[in-house]
Structure 1
Amino acid sequence: MSDIADAALAYAGVKRIEWADRAMPVLRQIRERFAADRPLAGLKIAACMHVTTETAGLIRTLQAGGASVALAASNPLSTQDDTAAALAHEYGAAVYARAGTDRELYYRHIHQVLETGPDLVLDDGCDLINTLHTDRPDLLGTVKGGCEETTTGVIRLHQMVREGALWFPVVAVNDTATKRMFDNRYGTGQSTLDGIVRATNTLLAGRTVVIAGFGYCGRGLAERAAGLGARVVVTEIDPVKALDAALQGYRVLPMAGAAPHGDVFITATGNRDVIRPEHFAEMKDGAILANSGHFDVEIDVAGLAEAAVEVRRGVRPHADEYVLPDGRGIVLLAEGRLVNLVAAEGHPPAVMDMSFADQALTCAWLATAYPNLTPGVYEVPAAIDTEVARLKLASMAVDIDSLNAEQEDYLSSWQHGS
């Protein structure tokens, strides 16, 4: 049973999924291993993730491991209807996802995947886990554990732990080194700018790009924007991250100070109302606003609409212009949602190869480790992180050194002098 837009799109979805699979060699190797070992045999998995060709690779890997999978969309505007159709009609997953659904149907789909009574849950933003705890606590007793893919979701999970609200162990896949390095930094850096350029056809060279937040995503955005010739300004609330940005040569300002200078503004903080009406009031005519944080709360879209005297919808695909009383126009991309997944295709498959490899191996680990875990937020086991990096290097034909016996002895003993 699924709820998708058009089953006739399945063939087109299969072709796109197969294309993405070519660039995901690590996940392919894990899928072959899972098919032989069946580490997830008999388990039911409920997932709330972006319904994209890359996610299809993960779903197929979990199925190869013996799991039955029900998938809901973690963002209505990122859903690829052909991918949803292919997963439902060619690959045997239960899929509840349609592009452009409203909030009511979005949560109905989340409830539908929970109706399967999952053993494991995979989340991207914590909406699935939140709904499970608030609306379906009757199902909590059967859930053995879960994984969370995003910074925003991990923040929410830690809040749940502090309040004693989390009922089962959840692994913060977002925080593993391979995911942060490859997905957050290189994936977000490239795909966000890809979305902005597709939506606006803007030349970034010589423009001032203001990046709110200098975590792993913000660093990647700054590097890629600077590489394209942009002048980069960073806004931060964390003194250590702000210092890091300054020492890397970026100008660091409060958002109030950056607002008059920016040509393009990108939010990547995980918090709400990062760009507000007082900032809109200072922006240039034609300033472009884009969000790369998980939820559509980082830019105060309601405040922008209230300040505008006219909204020109669709001035370009995924671009709306808000005209202020003095005639200045501010261009909002993707309705304030994830610009890389709405106006572009999200991270390239080669990036998600590592993130979803982390997810798949962590699910297999949870399937046996859960009896020894108490409710809380856990890191991905170091051995999984190392294995994913090793497999990725091998797929890239990159060799590295190894320690000899004397070196291992030196590093493991405190008795060696200088």
Structure 2
Amino acid sequence: MTTTTAEVKYEIKDISLAAMGKDRIEWAGREMPVLRQIRDRFAKEKPLAGVRISACCHVTTETANLAIALKAGGADAILIASNPLSTQDDVAASLVKDHGISVYAIKGEDNDTYHRHVQIALDHRPNIIIDDGSDVTTTLVQERPNQLSDIYGTTEETTTGIVRLNAMFNDGMLTFPAVSVNDADTKHFFDNRYGTGQSTLDGIVRATNILLAGRVIVVVGYGWCGKGVAMRAKGLGANVVVTEIDPVRAIEAVMDGFRVMPMAEAAPIGDIFVTVTGNKHVIRREHFEVMKDGAMVSNSGHFDIEIDLESLKEMSESDRYVRNFTQEYKLKSGKSVIVLGEGRLINLAAAEGHPASVMDMSFANQALASEYLVVNKGKLSPGLIPVPEDIDREIARLKLQAMGIDIDTLTPEQIEYCNSWTVGT
């Protein structure tokens, strides 16, 4: 049920958790100097004044700092959860109580509640949608075509969402600009690789308290997220196996020192499986059948579709929780398969998601992409558009500056050489 306090509408677990959330939001903010600089400028210039923004994101301390920056810029923003298990309830409470931001998010909310919150996000009649998986955007197109005229554009945070937007564009349904924040260099090189790499293993360890050294960890997919997970698992002493469908990525994994094989060959030897593909049922019945007794499966892709849980339930005679976020399925064959985090994002279900220092750049992209959509309202072509290079490079420059790191600049002679075709060796 929606509650209203001092004109702020919300649906959260418990408003009394706000004090704890306030401290944690401030702690994360210390690690987000780029977003802080953007927030300070937004507070002075108000580039988002009067703009209605509906943000569908993981409700974490880092997202809270983005929401605060958007409000500082003058936006009329509301926030809903992008995943039923990724909400930090104390953070949601603080955003409502301390910052006057409407939040609709409860950790563990069921699918009906989630979809109702998506409708609430659209009831806000957004000019800009900040999406994480494109659920709000696709619902808008399918169910609310009368609101399309309100839309300046959307921004998308995830690989999964970009895949959906591409499909929408190919079907002629993406009739407005969508900024591909996920593909910005200052996003995927760092958030996807270093953020996902560390936080995924953090979630696995928090859920299980197992030693990773010496285990066979199968990383399913070698995109930027898979590269990060494989790199960090190797650093912790695991024997890493990679499965892939893309021959170029497969070669890259081999050259990076990993064993590469089909899932059919990896399934019998893996101790822990991590899916990071953004695709459906990459671990399924035939793989469960040959897994070791006690094999653990987890997902760090956006949606809970990468592991075929329906088939696993059909193969099982019983299931039980042995730890928080650790569910043992007893197969009819007598073996067991352990599912972590209900097959949802393990880094957010069992841990706290990406470290703030890396989300600093991702959410700086979101804030500046929102400003870009406002400044260029009516001027941008429909379809996926990249984050402008000058924004991407400025975020990197600000991050280096905050880290106290200087880099070289080209000399006049070097600039002349780069712009000339007549000078050879």
TM-score, L = length of structure 1: 0.99
* Residue 226 of structure 2 is aligned to residue 239 of structure 1: no
More deviation in 1-10 or 180-189?
A: 1-10
1:296-338 CA distance string (max 9 Å, x none)? 00000111111011101x2011000011123211110000000
Q: Does 1:106 find its partner at 2:114?
A: yes
Letter in 2 for 1:356: F
SS in 1 for 2:47: coil
Which of 355, 378, 399 is equivalent to 1:392?
399
| Alpha-carbon separation, structure 2, partners of 1:199 and 1:70 | 31
- The alpha-carbon deviation at position 138 of structure 1 amounts to 1.3
Counterpart code for 2:234: A
Residue identity over aligned pairs, in percent, reads 57
Give the alignment of 1:237-316 within 5 angstroms. Answer: 237-312=245-320, 314-316=321-323
Deviation at 1:74, TM superposition (A): 0.2
Q: What is the rounded CA distance, in whole Å, between the counterparts of 1:248 and 1:10 in structure 2? A: 45
Structure 2: distance between partners of 1:12 and 1:198 = 21
Q: Secondary structure at the match of 1:186?
A: helix
Q: Do structure 1's residue 230 and structure 2's residue 238 form an aligned pair?
A: yes
CA distance in 2, matches of 1:147, 1:355: 12
Correspondence for 2:361 among 312, 334, 354: 354
Runs of 4+ in 1 over 2 A off after TM superposition: none
1:371 Cα offset (Å): 1.7
User: Which position in structure 2 is the counterpart of 1:369?
Assistant: 376
Name the CA distance, whole Å, in 2 between partners of 1:113 and 1:157: 19
Aligned 1:373-384 pairs, distance under 5 A: 373-384=380-391
Letter in 2 for 1:415: T
Superposed displacement of residue 14, structure 1: 0.8
Distance 1:126 1:176 in 2: 17
Q: Which residue of 1 aligns with 2:346?
A: 339
Whole-angstrom CA distance in 1 between matches of 2:274 and 2:350: 14
User: What secondary structure is seen at the aligned counterpart in 1 of 2:173?
Assistant: coil
CA contact (8 A) 1:169 1:370 kept: no
Give CA deviations for 1:57-93 in whole Å, capped at 9, x if unaligned: 0001111111110111000111111111111121111
- Cα separation, 1, equivalents of 2:238 and 2:19: 41
**What do you get for the CA RMSD once the two structures are aligned?**
0.8
Return the alpha-carbon distance in structure 2 between the equivalents of residues 417 and 174 of structure 1: 39
**Where does structure 1 lack aligned partners over 5 or more consecutive residues?**
none
TM-score (norm: length of structure 2): 0.97
The correspondence for 1:183, drawn from 191, 204, 207, is: 191
Q: Secondary structure at the match of 2:279?
A: coil
Contact 2:220 2:243 in 1 (8 A): yes
- Confirm or deny: 8 A CA contact 2:243 2:263 kept in the other structure: yes
Is the Cα–Cα contact under 8 Å of residues 212 and 266 in structure 1 kept in the other structure? Answer: yes
The alignment covers a number of residue pairs equal to 417
What's the CA shift for 1:108? 0.7
Match runs of 1:198-209 below 5 Å: 198-209=206-217
Q: Residue 129 of structure 2 aligns with which residue?
A: 121
State the shift of 1:102 in Å. 0.9
State the Cα distance separating 1:167 from its structure 2 match.
2.1
The yes-or-no answer on 1:324 pairing with 2:357 is no
1:406 corresponds, among 387, 393, 413, to 413
2:35: which partner in 1? 27
The superposition leaves residues 326-352 of structure 1 with CA deviations (integer Å, 9 ceiling, x where unpaired) of 321111000000000000000011111
Supply the distance in 2 between the matched residues of 1:345 and 1:301 (Cα, whole angstroms): 24
| Contact residue 234 and residue 253 of structure 1 kept, 8 A | yes
One-letter amino acid of the structure 2 residue matched with residue 211 of structure 1: V
SS of structure 2 residue aligned to 1:295 = coil
2:142 is equivalent to residue 137 of structure 1:
no
Q: Note if 1:61 corresponds to 2:69.
A: yes
Residue 222 of structure 2 is aligned to residue 197 of structure 1 = no
Counterpart residue identity of residue 387, structure 1: E
| Distance in 1, Cα, partners of 2:72 & 2:198 | 31
* C-alpha deviation, 1:370, in angstroms: 2.8
Q: Deviations over 1:10-55 (max 9, x none)?
A: 1211111111111111111111111111111111101111111100
C-alpha distance in 2 between matches for 1:95 and 1:167 = 28
What one-letter code is carried by the residue in structure 2 that aligns with 1:195? G
Contact 2:18 / 2:98 at 8 angstroms: preserved in 1? Answer: yes
**C-alpha distance in 2, partners of 1:68/1:91?**
12
Instruction: For residue 55 of structure 2, give the secondary structure of its aligned residue in structure 1.
Output: strand
Please tell me the residue identity of whatever aligns with 1:112: I
- Letter matched to residue 385 of structure 2: Y
> Quick check: 2:121–2:136 contact (8 Å CA) kept in 1?
no
